[in-house]
Structure formats: structure tokens, C-alpha cells
Chain A
């Protein structure tokens, strides 16, 4: 097991020569609500222990008191940098429980928006990670492009962040006519922007000094610790759910899965930058192949009817009333649906007892597992490198605590 064998998550006092140093919960490099308890010997990390729970919102408990469709807005709040990915994982899980097939246009729209969501999330990561290490300009560049994506989300859903755009059975509404032009405009310009970020960072000596050989994680340790996404792929773990266990039409798209070799902060950076290129490629493929047709499944007892139908058809009005007031029942059973979020495997385990409310919804959040790798990355290293290592994991505390 190598370094994993030394992984002991305790806070018991160490030798006399060491001291405990608390980093956070307000330290800027932890982006909010995380406390890192460091046991240090001089500037060397002896042990490191993440203390979490500051943000715990009890979403899993709350879902048990909601109708199935009322859970979708809660999923936005788990990983607030890629709400659409969480919407997708939950909707796919419930659709699997229902045995519901959704129209092709909705499938492609979901992929397109999901990849935009991944880009948006990686941009926040790149900007803040670079800023943690001391590069300010990249942050401003990344926020500029992210703004374009948030405007696209606003166009389709009316919201910039908590979009709640996916529905069980399809999408909330048809996209506005000029959406695809807007997305195309962004997709055409974005590859140049990635080159700009790389010009600032990839061959920058300071950047390389701060990231190369820092926060190393082997592939074996990544798997043993349950790490997924770029955190694991940076160590050479060749695994991406979109390619290896495709869902939601990803089998129709061609893309590469970037891998690192050394498992250090620099490789994780390169992995995510390459993922930006692959994602924008998928957005372009989605634009080119976007099918025409409905965006909701033909399931009147589950999917809300169009507004126009409600005004003219009594059945639609009744279905609308019943779904909103009583929800819809889901056959008893349980499913697990994992999707590739920007941080790794985001999985929803949904248990139905045959009523209109989920009996249990559990979220397998990638950030919680990825955070476990911090000990392996940092122990034996220097305090200054903790900031780089934490940033390279790309944690979202809503995703850790839920």
C-alpha cells in the first residue's frame, strides 16, 4: 500500500517536538468552510487532518420529506459550481427507477450544458488555484469566460448558478432560438482563450517550481483512497465514466481522456486544461448534431404538461394539478447512478418504497473522497505546499458536507 499504509486519520498528540497548527476554516486557500489540522515539525508536515462539517446542510434528510421533482433544486446546492451535473445524476437515477426514456434532443442538450458546466467549474478552479499560488491575471481571464457561460445558463433557465434546468423526464423548457448561436460564438472563441491561460502558466518557471513534484499521489493510492476525476487521472488512473460506463448519450461523442504521469499538482493542472479542450470539442459536436423534436418524455403522469395544453385540455390541467400537489409515485426499488462531474464520480443512490417521496437519497460526492488524498499528498512536505495541494484537488465544500 505504500504511503496509504501510513494514513492514520487521528488527532492524538504526537511527539514533543511537533505542534498543531489550524489552517482555516477561514483561510483563503480553503475557499470557505474547511479546517485543516496540521501537525508540524518546523515547516514540515507530520500529519494532516481535514476537519469538515461546517457547511452540513442536511440535504439527504430533507429529500425524504419532498416529492421526487422537488429534490431537483436541492441537487443544485450540493456542488454549486456544476449544478447541472448534479441535476443530471439525480434525474437519471429517478428515470432509471421509473423506466423512463427521454427524447433525443433533451439527451443532447443535457450533454451540451453539462460540458459547459464542466468548463465553467474548471475555470473557477483554474482561476482560484492560480490565485492561491500567486498568479492574479489568470483569475480575471477565467472569470471573463465563465461569465459567458453563466449568461448561457441564464438564457436557458433564467438562473446563473442554481439552474434547476433538468427535469425528471427531460428539460424544464425549450431553449430560446438564439441560444445555439450564442453557444457557437463561445465555442469558436474559447480554444484561443485556453492558449492564453497556458501562455501564462504552463511554461512559467514560478508556476512549475510551485507545482512540479509537489503533492504527489500514486495511482494505487488514488484508487485505494477512492479518488476520482482529474485528481486520480493526474496520477494516471485511466478512468472516466463518460467513456467507460457511458450514460445520457455520451457514447455518441468522441473525446480523449487526458492523463498525467507523475501525479503531482502540475499534472493535475495539465489534465484539467486538456479537459477544457475536450469539453469544448464535445460542445461543438453537440451543436452540430443537435436533433429536433420534443424536450420532454411522453409521460403525462410524471412530466408537467406544456402551458398551452393546460389552457386547452382538461386532462393536462388535471395531470398538472396532481403532479404539483401529490407528486408522482415511483415503483419500489433502488438504483445507483454515477456521472463524471468536474471533480470525479458523482453518484446518486435513490431508494423508492413506491410512494411519491424518495425513501432515501444518498449522494456519493467526489470531493469527500478526493479530500482523503490530502494526507498522502502533503505528509512529509512543506506548509507552503499545502496550499498548492488543496487547490489541486478542486474541492467544493457543498460537495463534501452536503
Chain B
């Protein structure tokens, strides 16, 4: 099963349901898209995230109504440093789509999706705790894994795996 070449041309991917829906809604919010290893990734503008996820969730034709996961990747020392990653699932289409938003290290904050999906509450707290990314509008943005007085955010790449900081 050799790897197929990834497709990152939006024109070639516009028939994928999730991307088609977003392009039909507001094409300017889609920064990029990629089809790799049978998985679709869409990069969105930070400001449009919640509205875009609501479009994906609420359209009766696709219903990406299940938020599997929220996490992040730290590309330190590159900028924009962080990618916040949302995995949403459509039980109707039996498809997943990965939504990503890039954030700079100096301004690592993004709107919380907890008002849309209460299940995002612990996931976003975890990302806040371990990466230091702030979620605006989260009802209880406190550390969840580490003690309240812990310094630093352990999943950042400039945080050592062992030894002293």
C-alpha cells in the first residue's frame, strides 16, 4: 500500500463535502486545504473558526456534529508557532475532517468552542494547561492536569522532557 501523493490544491479538493460547504459559505476564511493519507485537513482564519464550525455542524446535508477532539501542535521556533487542531466527525457521512488554525507565539489565543460543544470544555483546558494557548469565552479556563501553581506549559517544545528548566 504505497503512499499516494498528497493534494494541496483547493481546486482539486473542492468536491469534498466539508470543504465544499465552507467554500460555498465564505471562501475567504479557508487559508489552505490538504488531502493526505485519505484525510482532509482545512486551515481556517482564526476569527472565523466558530462560525465555520457551526456551518459544518448544522448543515443537514453533512452534519459534522461530533467534536472528537481539540489539541495543538507546537512548531517552535517557526512562526506562526502553534496550530490548534479540531477533529470533527459526521456520523451521517461517516467522514472526519481536521480543522486547523495557526496562532503566533506572541498572541496564542482563540475563541472557545465550548458554547457550541460543551464537550470541548476539558479538551480546551488541557490545551491551555499544556501549551499555554488561551481560549476566549471558556467558562473555566484553569489548569486541568498540572497543579495550579505549576510554572510553564509542558507540551511546548522549549520545555525540556527531563532535568531542570
A residues near B, CB below 8 A?
A: 1, 4, 7-11, 52-53, 56, 58, 60-62, 64-65, 96-101, 223-227, 239, 244-245, 331, 333-336, 338, 345, 347, 349, 351, 359-360, 362, 364, 368-369, 371-372, 401
Q: B36 in the interface, Cβ–Cβ < 8 Å?
A: yes
Identify which of A52, A245, A333 contacts B37 (C-beta below 8 A): A333
Q: B3 in the interface, Cβ–Cβ < 8 Å?
A: yes
* Count of chain B residues near A, Cβ 8 A: 43
How many Å lie between the Cα of A313 and that of B79 in the bound state? Answer: 48
Identify which of B85, B120, B144, B145 contacts A349 (C-beta below 8 A): B85
* Most chain A CB inside 10 Å of its own CB: which residue of B71, B119, B130: B119
Identify which of B85, B94, B122, B147 contacts A369 (C-beta below 8 A): B122
12 additional A-B residue pairs with CB within 8 Å, beyond A97-B37, A338-B68, A368-B122: A1-B118, A4-B118, A8-B139, A99-B37, A101-B1, A333-B37, A334-B36, A334-B98, A336-B96, A347-B87, A349-B87, A362-B69
Identify which of A99, A101, A347, A372 contacts B69 (C-beta below 8 A): A347
Chain A neighbourhood of B147, CB < 8 A: 53
Q: Number of residue pairs across A and B with beta carbons under 8 Å? A: 112
Identify which of A9, A52, A336 contacts B87 (C-beta below 8 A): A336
Contact assessment for B68 and A364 in the assembled complex, using a CB-CB cutoff below 8 Å: yes
6 pairs of A and B residues whose beta carbons are closest in the complex: A226-B119, A99-B3, A225-B119, A101-B1, A364-B69, A56-B145
Residue of B nearest to A244 (CB): B94
Q: How far is the CB of A293 from chain B (nearest CB, A)?
A: 17
Contact assessment for A225 and B140 in the assembled complex, using a CB-CB cutoff below 8 Å: no
Contact assessment for B139 and A336 in the assembled complex, using a CB-CB cutoff below 8 Å: no
Q: Which residues in window 60-118 of B have CB below 8 A to A?
A: 65-69, 71, 73-74, 85, 87, 91, 94, 96, 98, 117-118
Contact assessment for A226 and B117 in the assembled complex, using a CB-CB cutoff below 8 Å: yes
Contact assessment for A60 and B117 in the assembled complex, using a CB-CB cutoff below 8 Å: no
Contact assessment for A224 and B118 in the assembled complex, using a CB-CB cutoff below 8 Å: yes
How many Å lie between the Cα of A100 and that of B162 in the bound state? Answer: 33
Chain A neighbourhood of B41, CB < 8 A: 334
- 7 sampled A-B residue pairs with Cβ under 8 A: A9-B121, A61-B155, A100-B1, A227-B119, A331-B3, A334-B98, A349-B71
Contact assessment for A99 and B144 in the assembled complex, using a CB-CB cutoff below 8 Å: no
How many Å lie between the Cα of A11 and that of B98 in the bound state? Answer: 33
Q: How far is the CB of A115 from chain B (nearest CB, A)?
A: 22
Q: A96-B37, A333-B6 are in contact. Are A224 and B119 (CB under 8 A)?
A: yes
Contact assessment for A364 and B73 in the assembled complex, using a CB-CB cutoff below 8 Å: no
Chain A neighbourhood of B17, CB < 8 A: none
* Most chain B CB inside 10 Å of its own CB: which residue of A225, A226, A333: A226
Q: How far is the CB of A344 from chain B (nearest CB, A)?
A: 10
B25-57 contact mask (Cβ, 8 Å, vs A): 1 or 0:
000000000001101010000000000000000
Chain B neighbourhood of A62, CB < 8 A: 161
Contact assessment for B118 and A7 in the assembled complex, using a CB-CB cutoff below 8 Å: yes
Identify which of B85, B87, B146 contacts A53 (C-beta below 8 A): B146
